[in-house]
Structure 1
Amino acid sequence: MADAAKKSVVAERTFSPVDDEDDSEKDVFFDDVMEWCCGSGRWQVLLVSYMSMIWLILPAISMAMMFVGASPDFKCADGFDANVTFSALPADTPRCHPVGDADASCSRWVFDTSMYESTVVTEWSLVCGRKPLLSMLQSWVMLGGIVGSAISGQLSDRFGRKPVFLSTAVTILACAFASALVTDYASFAAVRFVTGVAMATLVGCHTVMTMEMAGRRTRAAFGTLSGLPFPFGIMLVAAGSYALRSHRQLQLAYAVPFVFLLSNFWLRPESPHWLVVQGRFAEAYTILERGARCNRHPMPPKEEVLAKMRHVRDSLLAREAAAHRATGRGRQGWRQLVGSPILVRYSAVAFFISFVICGAYFGVTFDMTQLSASPHLAAVLSALVELPSYCVFPLLDRLGRRGSLVAFLLTGAGAMLLVLADRRPAVWMALGLVAKFGVSAAFVGVWVLIGECMPTTVRGLAFGVCQTGVRLGGAAAPFVVDLVSDLHPAAPSAVFGAAMLAAGLATLLLPETNNQPLPETAVDIENRTGRKKAAADLQGVSRNGTALDLEKVELSDSF
């Protein structure tokens, strides 16, 4: 009896009755329903922590080329005995042409095996004129990610976050073992490409789910801390390479943890945000009931919760239908994204920022191996300096999402540009560490800001657009280093620094989203950006006697 009274008090305090005339005029958001039903507490913490363990094993794909593709010292073996070793050759033996013939190209090399027994470089001789093939191996993952980014948003918005996660997890597991077994460059590159497609799709689904499971007040904390396992994953990658010096054994060891992706699926619920948008209220209620039980939060009566969910969906449908009648923009997927000038602007800015951040991230990370005589130590240092970037959520709340992101980008840009002023190795190392922190913190902050400024109906698609920028930036980074490093040792840092400066200024074109509910439609975005009259006109269509055929608004159609 006391529990029932408590539930009634909770319901009355949070919402007015569904059939109340004033309440029907208001925009209702699922964030409020989730807070009303289960609050924020242990359930969200345990769930997001468990889901985020995928970041512990993903470095085995994205960062593995630091060691799988390591380039040991080498010499041209043309003209020497077939069994000659690296140490047996004279110290002045040229690297890319035979002894005494500078115009000829070398056709056979021997490698220093003191650090690595074998890498893909030694197996397929990816040196001298074949070096671009090495850069392409990292780029193939990123280029595959472009395809994955293009389809991940539409797939997750149409079929749900959880089914898409499972299919991509199985694909990644198969590719992880295949990469250790293939014996030729073309097959290895193809496996890397498919892995990139699957990984980008999985990351997009995971990021959207994390944002949608978090409450309004804890979204910044969850959005940043969820990536905390990633630096530890980089350390594990370095530890594995230190223990296993053969690239095939190493890749097999990297593949084993991906079995965990399958177990990660079973305890991962479907996004209740997505379920409500699809009209699957009973399933969403079951998930929220489980969260309320874990959080020891009084769950309101089922009938009232289901009524509120219908109200949320009807409110969303009404705004979509009104926008469709008034402007023809009440459409889904790519059509809605390109049909709204505001969403086009946000998407373009987010794409550019993601492109710059990822390019700078990989550029700095792979260059960090030159800061120490031991590449394994360099990788650990790179990961350690990244750890504080995952604890910046208090700044996101205090300075705001946009202000914090600008600060991170300018910090990284300043450190990279200052490299030109001082060529001392110790100074370069210190500036490199500062730059790594700035770009890592920006990487964390940009996902929070993008997730909060995009509406639910195209949020997965918007993350897909940003993932495309991320992959293009990662694919371009190795070639930027290769093309401009001959001009000046610090030239790549200057290029990345200038790009981060431009990205910091571009961030000012995005809205501040701190402590705002997740928008459901483009009309909600217009309400927040000062276009209140236009949004009111769209919402007023249904109040001026124009009938809205809500059933014809196909929320599940993302194509």
Structure 2
Amino acid sequence: MEEKQNSKPASGPQSPRSTQQHEISFPSHSWSLEMLLRRLKALDGRREDKLTSVIDTLGEFGTFQWRLVALTFIPSMLSSFFMLSDNFMLTAQRPYCNTSWILAVGPNLSVAEQLNLTLPRAPNGSFLTCLMYIPVSWDLDSIIHFGLNYTETCKYGWIYPYADKRSLINEFDLVCGNEPKKESMQTVLLAGILTGSLLFGFLSDKMGRYPAILMSLLGLLIFGFGTAFVNTFYQFLLFRFAVALAAVGYAISSVSLVMEWLVGEHRAYAIVLEHCFMAVGVLFLSGSAYKISHWRLLFLLGGMPMFPVISNIWVLRESPRWLMVKGKVEETVKVLCYAAEVNKTTIPLNLLNELQQQKKKVTKASIVDFYTNQHLFKVILSMACVWFTISYIYFTLSLKMKDFGVDIYFQQAIPGILEVPARLCCLVLLEHLGRKCSLFLSLILAAIMCLFLLFLPQELKSTIVLVLVLGEFILAATVAVFLVYTAELLPTILRSTGLGMVCLAWTGGAITALAIFNQIKTQLPIFFCCLSCVVALCFSSLVPETGNKPLHDGIEYNTRESIDFKRRSQDIAAMIIAGESMSDVVIDEVTKNTILNAMPLQSEVDMFFSTASEKPSMKYPVQLPEDQLPQ
């Protein structure tokens, strides 16, 4: 024992941690090589990312993270509420010309008698909706005896005696040539999504996630709640455009913020839960529209929850990753310390010092990099193709369901109910199969559903509706997988801009589906669904798996990864050689577990990577007897 103690190199006073290191031996080759390589890969991925090390110390999913994710639930729910409410705004009404002039001579006439005396009839016996008899100055007996013969268009507006709901049609008299086309309203909504994707994608990367979220929430509050007070139909369309713009802006900014605050699988959990609440918003809309008889009350009800959300916006903090790429180191330290205070944890001082010692280097990038950078071009092209496919198939299936005369409440409620379990199933797929395989599986299942629709006889109406519902169930899962995957592939400096560009492809898919389905009444649109799935599968194979890898901040990471791969290969080879040369060193399982589980990250990195950076005569972290040192 004395020889062993005296053989320790005289390196001055040692800390308890360094003394503990001298009692740990190198891992022997009896360990699983696969486990060792996986551990080394994770360590190497975090070696240069000091920010990830700091975020890890905050706790995997503490109070701060819960507050961050929970605050995204209500806006996500209201976004789907506002975006899909148009489906309930144009309920069918049976209007008639306003002929209340006859009540001046016959105030006791019933509605049926009034219509019978003042409205002409169609050949089938029903009253015409856009014509009325010209008023005359006769008494009631003369009108009943002689009748009215000359007609004109409705001069005094319309009445809706049998309408049970107050909708846009009877509010703004959208009848008799003034009917709005649903395609036009959808075009306004898609134009808002298109504009919001470009605008908020740029603003979120330029100004930060927090300002973009605040602006989008204010937009949802002002234009969503304010829709209840519009005076004309054109004002309604303007507010719908602004609501779509704010909704897509919030979706892009919130996904970026959540992804950059969370680590590992918690990123996927948060995004999937956020989209589950979008499905809850669809159910909330369907139930409210069924019970509420006035469209203005519907928007008032939907806008009310935005007030407590806005009042609690202070609990959010800017993304530390975005602050770092912008060179704002002091602000980064402040938001991290705030999160640690909320989680009641402490950040090691040495990690904060290392973070503060980093140079205030501003990472520069622009939308042009999606064309000039080969890796980013491949990512954005592949993900845009997948998003175009998802959007095209979803809108085609929705239009197909309308063609079968399915009730509007069924169209919204049933898929909304199924979307929640569909997205929760994604968590299992993402955890066990990874992002890439999960996307492959969901696209293949969507293609199978489209093939069923292609070959099923049109007489099997109930079977086709069932397949349509299952198709929307699969697409809901695909959307959840896709968003997580895309956000992890994009670098922090261009994450929101990239998500905005991908949303452009979603808009393109929706417009294409509307154009093709309205022009072609055969099975050709369904065939295009199958074809687009095959193309999307080919493109999605071009992008790498992300898994639980740390997020990338700059656009130069693809070059750095190739260099790091070579360095890791050399490190692994050196470690295996060192392990084989020390195979006679005995180490018990407790010590092995201590090395893997209890050691700080930097100590592990130093221990594992020291074999590649030192010569054969290097100093080992373990002090061995001289007769056991390798020659």
Paired residues of 1:29 and 1:518 also in contact (CA < 8 A) = no
Task: Please tell me the residue identity of whatever aligns with 1:467.
Answer: C
Answer yes or no: is 1:167 the counterpart of 2:198.
no
**Secondary structure, counterpart of 2:371 in structure 1:** helix
- In structure 1, how many angstroms separate the alpha carbons of the residues matched to 2:492 and 2:556? 12
**Equivalent of 2:87, from 59, 62, 66?**
66
**Equivalent of 1:337, from 370, 374, 384?**
370
- In structure 2, how many angstroms separate the alpha carbons of the residues matched to 1:5 and 1:179? 66
Uncovered stretches (5+) of structure 2, i.e. residues with no partner: 1-14, 21-43, 100-111, 132-151, 567-631
Q: Identify the residue that residue 523 of structure 1 maps to in structure 2.
A: 556
After the TM superposition, which residues 326-405 of structure 1 pair with which residues of structure 2 at under 5 Å, given as runs?
331-365=364-398, 368=401, 374-391=407-424, 392-405=426-439
Cα drift, residue 114 of structure 1:
6.5
Q: Identify the residue that residue 593 of structure 2 maps to in structure 1.
A: none
Paired residues of 1:359 and 1:476 also in contact (CA < 8 A) = yes
Answer yes or no: is 1:464 the counterpart of 2:497.
no
Rate the CA distance shift 1:282–1:478 in 2: closer, same or farther, 3 A: same
Of structures 1 and 2, the larger Rg is shown by: 2
The worse-fitting range, judged by mean Cα deviation, of 31-40 and 413-422 is 31-40
**Equivalent of 2:483, from 438, 447, 450?**
447
The worse-fitting range, judged by mean Cα deviation, of 234-243 and 412-421 is 412-421
Cα drift, residue 291 of structure 1:
3.2
Cα drift, residue 208 of structure 1:
0.5
Rate the CA distance shift 1:238–1:143 in 2: closer, same or farther, 3 A: same
After the TM superposition, which residues 8-23 of structure 1 pair with which residues of structure 2 at under 5 Å, given as runs?
none
Task: String of CA shifts for 1:332-362, please: whole Å, max 9, x gaps.
Answer: 1213333212212211222222233234334
Q: Identify the residue that residue 583 of structure 2 maps to in structure 1.
A: none
- In structure 2, how many angstroms separate the alpha carbons of the residues matched to 1:497 and 1:128? 40
After the TM superposition, which residues 183-262 of structure 1 pair with which residues of structure 2 at under 5 Å, given as runs?
183-262=231-310
Cα drift, residue 288 of structure 1:
2.5
Q: Identify the residue that residue 18 of structure 1 maps to in structure 2.
A: none
Paired residues of 1:37 and 1:300 also in contact (CA < 8 A) = no
The worse-fitting range, judged by mean Cα deviation, of 397-406 and 346-355 is 346-355
After the TM superposition, which residues 4-43 of structure 1 pair with which residues of structure 2 at under 5 Å, given as runs?
27-28=48-49, 30-43=51-64
Paired residues of 1:161 and 1:270 also in contact (CA < 8 A) = yes
**Secondary structure, counterpart of 2:535 in structure 1:** helix
- In structure 2, how many angstroms separate the alpha carbons of the residues matched to 1:115 and 1:399? 53
Cα drift, residue 81 of structure 1:
11
Cα drift, residue 410 of structure 1:
2.2
The worse-fitting range, judged by mean Cα deviation, of 214-223 and 131-140 is 131-140
Cα drift, residue 366 of structure 1:
6.1
Rate the CA distance shift 1:445–1:286 in 2: closer, same or farther, 3 A: same
- In structure 2, how many angstroms separate the alpha carbons of the residues matched to 1:475 and 1:385? 25
Cα drift, residue 120 of structure 1:
2.9
The worse-fitting range, judged by mean Cα deviation, of 212-221 and 523-532 is 523-532
- In structure 2, how many angstroms separate the alpha carbons of the residues matched to 1:479 and 1:93? 35
- In structure 1, how many angstroms separate the alpha carbons of the residues matched to 2:161 and 2:530? 36
- In structure 2, how many angstroms separate the alpha carbons of the residues matched to 1:31 and 1:369? 48
Paired residues of 1:519 and 1:525 also in contact (CA < 8 A) = no
Rate the CA distance shift 1:364–1:528 in 2: closer, same or farther, 3 A: farther
Q: Identify the residue that residue 538 of structure 1 maps to in structure 2.
A: none
Cα drift, residue 219 of structure 1:
1.8
Answer yes or no: is 1:308 the counterpart of 2:355.
yes
After the TM superposition, which residues 488-527 of structure 1 pair with which residues of structure 2 at under 5 Å, given as runs?
488=522, 492-527=525-560
Paired residues of 1:372 and 1:378 also in contact (CA < 8 A) = no
Q: Identify the residue that residue 143 of structure 1 maps to in structure 2.
A: 191
Q: TM-score, normalized by length of structure 2?
A: 0.68
Q: Identify the residue that residue 546 of structure 1 maps to in structure 2.
A: none
- In structure 2, how many angstroms separate the alpha carbons of the residues matched to 1:276 and 1:82? 74
Task: String of CA shifts for 1:508-535, please: whole Å, max 9, x gaps.
Answer: 12221112111112221344579979xx
- In structure 1, how many angstroms separate the alpha carbons of the residues matched to 2:189 and 2:533? 23
Task: String of CA shifts for 1:193-242, please: whole Å, max 9, x gaps.
Answer: 22222222222111101111111242222222221111111111011111
**Secondary structure, counterpart of 1:522 in structure 2:** coil
Q: TM-score, normalized by length of structure 1?
A: 0.76
Paired residues of 1:38 and 1:291 also in contact (CA < 8 A) = no
**Secondary structure, counterpart of 1:509 in structure 2:** coil
- In structure 1, how many angstroms separate the alpha carbons of the residues matched to 2:175 and 2:506? 27
Cα drift, residue 57 of structure 1:
1.1
Rate the CA distance shift 1:245–1:503 in 2: closer, same or farther, 3 A: farther
Cα drift, residue 59 of structure 1:
1.5
Cα drift, residue 451 of structure 1:
0.7
After the TM superposition, which residues 66-105 of structure 1 pair with which residues of structure 2 at under 5 Å, given as runs?
66-70=87-91, 72=92, 83=115
Paired residues of 1:38 and 1:289 also in contact (CA < 8 A) = no
- In structure 1, how many angstroms separate the alpha carbons of the residues matched to 2:162 and 2:449? 34
Q: Give identity over the alignment, percent.
A: 21
- In structure 2, how many angstroms separate the alpha carbons of the residues matched to 1:368 and 1:5? 70
Task: String of CA shifts for 1:385-414, please: whole Å, max 9, x gaps.
Answer: 111222112211221111111211221232
Cα drift, residue 74 of structure 1:
5.6
Cα drift, residue 129 of structure 1:
7.7
**Equivalent of 1:272, from 316, 320, 326?**
320
- In structure 1, how many angstroms separate the alpha carbons of the residues matched to 2:564 and 2:348? 36
Uncovered stretches (5+) of structure 1, i.e. residues with no partner: 10-22, 99-105, 321-330, 534-559
- In structure 2, how many angstroms separate the alpha carbons of the residues matched to 1:342 and 1:532? 17
